[in-house]
């Protein structure tokens, strides 16, 4: 053996890696797939599309121009379109598009709109896009519709032997839901301005239109207050956005047709407020910034009249800073022990006829609602704000399930859905894609359905940093964006995954790090640029899902998030492709497919010996040895079962029981992750000898 691996091992690795290429094809971009018909890679799928014969050729003479009075938003969008088109094609476009956009001559892209769009719910975002062999026309009611159409046109870019082109199409498109959001929690882990901006660019690329900015948490107060400067000075560890930065981000989002809705989470999740103002809590201080994660006791004291002038002054300041008509007050997970233990609060409840803590919170929310109404804001809150007596001009944001959303709509409340779109929980894209704010079996009538505004993907930040957050948001959020935009009948999961791989690469041009940073993390861990064995292992592994990872260590906001699990994608597309191959093989026992599966199993089995030298050289990697060994042993079982199936031989139940023990051992979590391929191997064993115990 050399200091790294033997020559024989390197040859084996290269040969088996080539074999794995066919398995990974489903998750990698393929120029061939795009060149057959560029329209097939659109995400979101348009409301209506007809593909015609013919191609509009893209060359250096391409021009773009508007035939409507120019607004800054459409002008800048056209400039970004040309810049991104040049970046994708390498063409030296001749038009001085940043200086002027005169109506193009023959062979150009011509866009038009009737008026500037307002950043409000139910604004018209529709567009009509026609690509002919000699011209491209884009028409919309508003300039926001132009933005949406330009993103579609970029996605249509295709390639053949003659070069780049747009396929000839007629598209009439509009969103299904008016509220298509992404929440980013910057309280638990602060995310700098550049992280926010690149994610705004990605949102615009997939036609999302609401950035929900979760700005306060137990772990940090992230917005500058000039009225109460101690809030950000004492409650943020120095990590907060200045008001100048906030205005810059709001303007940046507006140029992309995206609203910015702030959230200040009260009365719970509010420890960071009390670092500066402990007197407003329901229990005596002092308080420090919370480093752990979970649901904590500190909460505002609704019985203390002093808090309402304080909140009035703060919300007045924030209402002036954030122009969006909606402001989110949080309102979730008030733990309640401080309220129960405070005699003054209990006396207030009794005097006011408030039966329980829910009624007390409803009282608090009514006081907030009056303040927000005074400053022209509409109140949004999580499920817990849905209490009797609140006027129905508030918006219910459902995180606990669609039942509350339905009940709220039946009582006349508008609602948005986030249950089922918690992207921090590392669920597969399919699970999010098939979750619908208005499923076909909805019990709501047409009037009530109109109250369901849409939904939001939620990126809670307990386990992410600026280095890893993109990989937890993208590309799965593009599938959620399609659910919010496209007709409800668009539900083909396999086609969604095929397009998702293509869109993922296109999103990378916007500066996202979801494809780039995992390799960087692995190189850092290994202390070596030769990380191919780690990449192979990572392709077969997924982080623990839901909240299971929190049970593996005492995570805090100061913990390292640079371990192997942080380099693993939330969903292994290689494992998904492998599972589909197994299902197909078990249906027909195709020998060619069987050999392909065998090659994949052989690769994963052989990879363990290649991982071991990297583990030996890096203490930070030692925790992954059980994963690597478990994968090798599981694949050995899979190869044995596959061989029996290929030969038409069955095995006794005792054999399945013995192999089941090996698979059960391999299934144990390690390094805060789990093997994503075991269910497919289990199917091979069960096909030989019945259920695995």
How many C-beta neighbours within 10 Å does residue 647 have?
Answer: 7
How many C-beta neighbours within 10 Å does residue 181 have?
Answer: 27
Nearest residue to 368 via CA among 265, 285, 287, 295: 265
Contact yes or no for 426/568 (Cβ under 8 A): no
> What pLDDT, on a 0 to 100 scale, did the predictor assign at position 22?
38
E strand intervals along 405-496: 414-417, 452-459
Rounded Cα distance between 627 and 629, Å, is 6
| 53 in active site | no
Checking 242-251 for CB contacts under 8 A at 24+ apart, the result is 243/321, 245/193, 246/321, 246/322, 247/321, 248/193, 249/193, 249/196, 249/197, 249/200, 250/322, 250/323
Spans of all domains in the chain: 48-173, 516-689
Each residue of 548-602: pLDDT tens digit? Answer: 999 999 999 999 999 999 999 999 999 999 999 999 999 988 999 999 999 999 9
Each residue of 304-327: pLDDT tens digit? Answer: 999 999 999 999 999 999 999 999
Q: CATH says 48-173 is which class?
A: alpha beta
Each residue of 464-479: pLDDT tens digit? Answer: 999 999 999 999 999 9
Rounded Cα distance between 505 and 342, Å, is 55
Contact yes or no for 139/158 (Cβ under 8 A): no
**Annotated catalytic residue: which of 333, 335, 509, 686?**
333
> Which residue ranges of the chain lie beneath pLDDT 70?
1-39, 68-71, 96-107, 693
Rounded Cα distance between 168 and 379, Å, is 45
């Amino acid at each position: 053996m050399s200091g790294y691996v033997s020559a024989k091992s390197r040859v084996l690795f290269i040969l088996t890696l080539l074999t794995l290429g066919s398995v990974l094809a489903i998750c990698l971009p393929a120029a061939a797939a795009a060149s057959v018909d560029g329209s097939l890679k659109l995400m979101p799928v348009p409301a209506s599309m007809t593909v015609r014969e013919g191609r509009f050729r893209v060359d250096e003479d391409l021009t773009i121009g508007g035939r409507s009075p120019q607004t800054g938003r459409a002008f800048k969008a056209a400039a970004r379109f040309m810049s991104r088109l040049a970046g994708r094609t390498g063409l030296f476009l001749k038009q001085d598009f940043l200086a002027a956009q005169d109506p193009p001559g023959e062979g150009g892209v011509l866009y038009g709109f009737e008026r500037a769009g307002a950043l409000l719910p139910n604004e018209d975002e529709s567009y009509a896009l026609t690509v002919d062999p000699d011209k491209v026309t884009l028409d919309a009611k508003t300039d926001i519709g132009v933005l949406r159409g330009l993103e579609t046109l970029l996605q249509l870019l295709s390639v053949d032997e003659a070069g780049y082109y747009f396929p000839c199409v007629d598209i009439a498109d509009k969103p299904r839901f008016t509220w298509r959001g992404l929440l980013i929690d910057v309280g638990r882990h602060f995310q700098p301005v550049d992280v926010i901006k690149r994610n705004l660019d990605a949102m615009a690329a997939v036609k999302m239109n609401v950035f929900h900015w979760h700005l306060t948490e137990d772990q940090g107060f992230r917005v500058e207050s000039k009225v109460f400067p101690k809030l950000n000075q004492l409650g943020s560890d120095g990590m907060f956005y200045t008001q100048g930065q906030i205005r810059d981000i709001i303007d940046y989002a507006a140029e992309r047709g995206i609203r910015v809705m702030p959230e200040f989470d009260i009365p719970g999740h509010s420890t960071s407020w009390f670092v500066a103002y402990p007197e407003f809590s329901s229990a005596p201080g002092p308080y420090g910034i919370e480093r752990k994660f979970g649901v904590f006791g500190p909460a505002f004291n609704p019985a203390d009249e002093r808090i309402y002038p304080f909140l009035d002054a703060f919300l007045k300041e924030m209402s002036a800073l954030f122009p969006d008509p909606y402001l989110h007050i949080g309102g979730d997970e008030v733990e309640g022990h401080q309220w129960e233990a405070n005699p003054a609060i209990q006396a207030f409840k009794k005097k006011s006829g408030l039966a329980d803590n829910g009624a007390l919170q409803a009282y608090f929310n009514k006081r907030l609602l009056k303040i927000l109404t005074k400053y022209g804001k509409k109140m949004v809150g999580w499920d817990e704000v849905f209490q009797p007596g609140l006027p129905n001009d508030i918006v219910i944001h459902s995180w606990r399930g669609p039942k509350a959303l339905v009940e709220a709509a039946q009582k006349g409340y508008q609602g948005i859905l986030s249950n089922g779109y918690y992207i921090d929980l590392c669920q597969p894209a399919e699970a999010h894609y098939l979750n619908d704010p208005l499923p076909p079996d909805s019990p709501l009538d047409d009037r009530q359905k109109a109250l369901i505004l849409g939904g939001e993907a939620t990126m809670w930040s307990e386990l992410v940093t600026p280095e890893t957050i993109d990989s937890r948001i993208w590309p799965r959020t593009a599938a959620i964006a399609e659910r919010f935009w496209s007709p409800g009948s668009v539900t083909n999961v396999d086609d969604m995954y095929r397009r998702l791989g293509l869109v993922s690469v296109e999103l990378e041009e916007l500066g996202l790090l979801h494809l780039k940073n995992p390799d960087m993390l692995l190189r850092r861990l290994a202390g070596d640029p030769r990380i191919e064995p780690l990449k192979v292992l990572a392709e077969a592994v997924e982080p623990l899902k839901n909240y299971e990872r929190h049970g593996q260590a005492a995570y805090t906001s100061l913990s390292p998030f640079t371990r192997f699990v942080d380099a693993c994608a939330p969903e292994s597309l290689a494992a998904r492709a492998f599972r589909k191959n197994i299902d197909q093989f078990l249906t027909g026992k195709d020998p060619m497919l069987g050999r392909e599966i065998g090659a994949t199993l052989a690769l994963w089995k052989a990879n363990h010996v290649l991982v071991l030298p990297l583990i030996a050289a890096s203490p930070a990697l030692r925790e992954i040895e059980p994963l690597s060994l478990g994968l090798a042993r599981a694949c050995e079982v899979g190869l044995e079962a596959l061989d029996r199936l290929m030969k038409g031989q069955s095995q006794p139940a005792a054999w399945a029981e013995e192999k089941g023990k090996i698979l059960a051992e391999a299934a144990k979590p390690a390094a805060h992750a789990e093997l994503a391929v075991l269910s497919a191997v289990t199917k091979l064993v069960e096909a030989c000898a019945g259920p695995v115990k």
